[in-house]
Amino acid sequence: MKIETVDFFYLAMPEITTAADGSQDALVVRVTAGGFIGWGECEAAPLPSIAAFVCPMSHGACQPVQNAVLGQRLESPADIARIAAQVEYDSMDLLQAPHTWSGIEMALWDLLGKARGEPVWKLLGYGRSHAKTPYASQLFGDSPQETLERGRSARADGFRAVKFGWGPVGRGALEIDADHFAAAREGLGPDGILLVDVGQIFGEDVERAARRLPALEAARATWLEEPFAASAYGEYATLAARTSVKMAGGEGAHNFHMARNLIDYGNIGFVQIDCGRIGGIGPAKRVADHAVGKGVTYVNHTFTSNLALSASLQPFAGVADATICEYPVSLQPLAVELTANHIQRDANGEIAAPDAPGLGIEINPAALETYRVEVEITVQGRTLFRSPAAA
């Protein structure tokens, strides 16, 4: 097979807010080769990601991503790795390239799985897809009372594990943050798994983050996610040495080496990888393998559609000891309607990567039209990109 076309669909809700909600828009990728279609999703700003695919060449190390993709042979996982290396080399000075390539790479795995009649996790070398305990991924409330109610609601909905993220935490008084942590614990009950995500709010200020540790420990939080900037490895390690609460991070890694450094030098206990940012499923699997060797727990990161959710589960589907996974529950209608099928919890409240060819997720064509953002990129009178038809 040869890669014939790569199409991008820029989708968005009618109104975009400053809320830390990645499901407000989407960049969906469609790839065709050999009569098959694969789908992927970039976890990045759609417009610059499209531009990275079609932009005029600046110089030999700053070529558009399309130059390394279109017309390439696709017969095996080795071909995906080969194309990835070419993208990295040819577009090394195009910083958006890893995000653009991530969605394409997902789509190539989906397409190859469909062509072979096998799920992606099997193409990655796993013998089975192990069930995972999903944690309801949601934002902190605007007040501790609202956080309490969100915790109770998640437990009532059958979730034993819940992650509270962003919101007001780290933006005001220490006492308010402590109240939020205590409210989250009360809402989950004594046996609930409490996960806390502060969205890099402390930058590289270890002392400011450390002042929250007693309250986190009192609330028995399992992890503190992204207290610092993605590459602040020393700060992660310093904070990790001062608490029983494990550090978590990695969603900001846009290549394997960033994730490895966070594991090796940041001393995190949980590494969270977003396939829509790191370069796709292949490098995410490489991180999962490294994490197993280091005794670090791999966790998927995703806060968009079930297409992205399925992709995020594939790299550690066969890791039996990695038993927890992110499961977005507060998605915008765009992300819900994008796919015709969804990954549902079973009778035990668990989920697993689909046992179906490719990613096992079908796109809803109607959503591609309903939430469509018309894009045309023109340079010196030449049209480099125009939004494709959904059909």
Sign of CA dihedral 126, 130, 135, 137: positive
- Residues 153 and 18: their CA atoms lie apart, in Å, by 24
Are 98 and 255 contacting, i.e. CB atoms less than 8 angstroms apart? yes
Banded model confidence at residue 299, pLDDT cuts 50, 70, 90 = very high
Can you name the residues that pair with 29 across neighbouring β-strands? 8, 40
| pTM across the whole model | 0.95
- Residues 213 and 244: their CA atoms lie apart, in Å, by 9
For residue range 20-64, list pLDDT tens digits in order.
778 889 999 999 999 999 999 999 999 999 999 999 999 989 999
CATH number, span 3-119+364-386: 3.30.390.10
pLDDT of residue 160: 94
Q: What CATH architecture does domain 123-337 belong to?
A: Alpha-Beta Barrel (3.20)
pLDDT of residue 390: 85
Banded model confidence at residue 329, pLDDT cuts 50, 70, 90 = confident
For residue range 103-153, list pLDDT tens digits in order.
999 999 999 999 999 999 999 999 999 999 999 988 999 999 999 999 999
Buried b / exposed e over 11-46, threshold 16 CB at 10 Å, is bbbeeeeeeebbbbbbbbbbbbbeebbbbbbbbbeb
For residue range 164-178, list pLDDT tens digits in order.
998 899 998 999 999
pLDDT of residue 119: 98
Are 131 and 345 contacting, i.e. CB atoms less than 8 angstroms apart? no
| Closest to 110 (Cα-Cα) out of 159, 102, 183, 348 | 102
Edge-to-edge, what's the strand order for the sheet holding 3-12? 3-12, 25-33, 36-42
| Mean pLDDT score across all residues of the chain | 96
Sequence-ordered list of residues with C-beta below 8 angstroms from that of 95, at least 6 positions apart, any chain: none
Query: Using N-to-C axis directions, what is the helix angle for 281-294 and 256-264, rounded to 10°?
Result: 20
pLDDT of residue 132: 97
Q: Ramachandran region of residue 118, left (φ > 0), alpha (ψ -120 to 50) or beta?
A: beta
- Residues 338 and 319: their CA atoms lie apart, in Å, by 28
Interval 235-242 mean pLDDT: 98
Angle at 300 between CA 165 and CA 252, to 5 degrees: 65
* Alpha carbon 207 to its chain's center: 29
Looking at residue 69, what DSSP letter applies? Answer: T
Are 142 and 168 contacting, i.e. CB atoms less than 8 angstroms apart? yes
Q: Where in the chain is the domain with CATH 3.30.390.10?
A: 3-119+364-386
Interval 331-338 mean pLDDT: 93
| Closest to 277 (Cα-Cα) out of 341, 324, 230 | 230
Banded model confidence at residue 331, pLDDT cuts 50, 70, 90 = confident
Are 202 and 208 contacting, i.e. CB atoms less than 8 angstroms apart? yes
Banded model confidence at residue 352, pLDDT cuts 50, 70, 90 = very high
For residue range 70-79, list pLDDT tens digits in order.
999 999 999 9
- Rounded to the nearest 5 percent, the helix, strand and coil shares of the chain are 35, 20, 40
Q: What is the dihedral of CA 203, 176, 326, 44, to 10 degrees?
A: -40
Interval 94-100 mean pLDDT: 96
Banded model confidence at residue 216, pLDDT cuts 50, 70, 90 = very high
Coil, helix or strand at residue 369: helix
Q: Where in the chain is the domain with CATH 3.20.20.120?
A: 123-337
Banded model confidence at residue 276, pLDDT cuts 50, 70, 90 = very high
pLDDT of residue 20: 75
- Residues 39 and 279: their CA atoms lie apart, in Å, by 15
